[in-house]
Structure 1
């Protein structure tokens, strides 16, 4: 009998509850960067460029949640190998909408930016109400 050897992939995750205020996006970005800089990161293949991309995705998704939902939001970041998954839960049942870029508006480009950076972007309706927006960067 031959033994199978599997590569062990370590996974690290963190979750934060954030209040409904404009400063939450910046706080989420700082917390995410600090989490990705912890020693577990050496076991994973998250590059400095990827950390920047993840921080931008976190900032955009948290900004949308605190701007369009009632109450705060919950941010979860998971790292496994070279894959980073960002999930933002909020209480609004409304799905985020992708807008056409416009030179006249100062906002409305965030979701398009997230779609460009993420390998996969999905919205999952939560059983208890609300939704989770999940972006996977691989």
Structure 2
């Protein structure tokens, strides 16, 4: 890693960006990816004081589960999950995998059995983007932390 890249990361961390990453290789790691998201958002609320409702907690775990499942199903090797919260009041969920082929986003079809994961992710996310990388691709979604629910990540009243 170049020194300038390391310096940039430190500057961003001082600018109130909270992030965590994890690599996942097997389908059994999908639960681990959800746990990473849950722990991260719990810390975002407890340590940094940003509100995270139970609904947002569940939505982020659902998005993580769907994206990591697809990466493990359609790409060889590990995938990398990154969760990031900045001053914008949203969590960015990013999953990198080694397959450069963009996912097939199918039209909604109530009669189709399965393959609704990306439909769900796109429906609950503020944004959805696929970007080719020098190796593979990265799918990034953004989910707003604020919602109309009452309570924190534990579902308790404030």
Aligned residues of 1:16 and 1:76 also touching (Cα < 8 A): yes
Matched, 1:41 2:62: no
2:93 aligns with 86
Matched, 1:134 2:140: yes
Note the C-alpha offset of 1:100.
Answer: 3.1
Aligned residues: 128
Tell me the distance in 1 between the aligned counterparts of 2:31 and 2:112. 22
Q: Quick one: distance in 1 between partners of 2:45 and 2:137?
A: 29
Residues 69-124 of structure 1 show CA distances to partners (whole Å, capped at 9, x for unaligned) of 01110000012242000000000001011123445544200000000011000011
1:26 aligns to what?
31
Question: For residue 61 of structure 1, what is the aligned residue in structure 2?
Answer: 67
TM-score scaled by length of structure 1: 0.84
Distance 1:52 1:10 in 2: 24
How high is the TM-score relative to the length of structure 2? Answer: 0.74
How far apart in 1 are the matches of 2:91 and 2:70? 20
Q: Please, which runs of 5 or more residues in structure 2 have no aligned partner?
A: 1-14, 145-158
Residue number among 77, 80, 97 corresponding to 2:83 in the alignment: 77
Cα distance, 1:51 vs. partner?
Answer: 1.0
RMSD (Å), alpha carbons: 1.8
8 Å contact from structure 1 (residues 101, 108) kept in 2: no
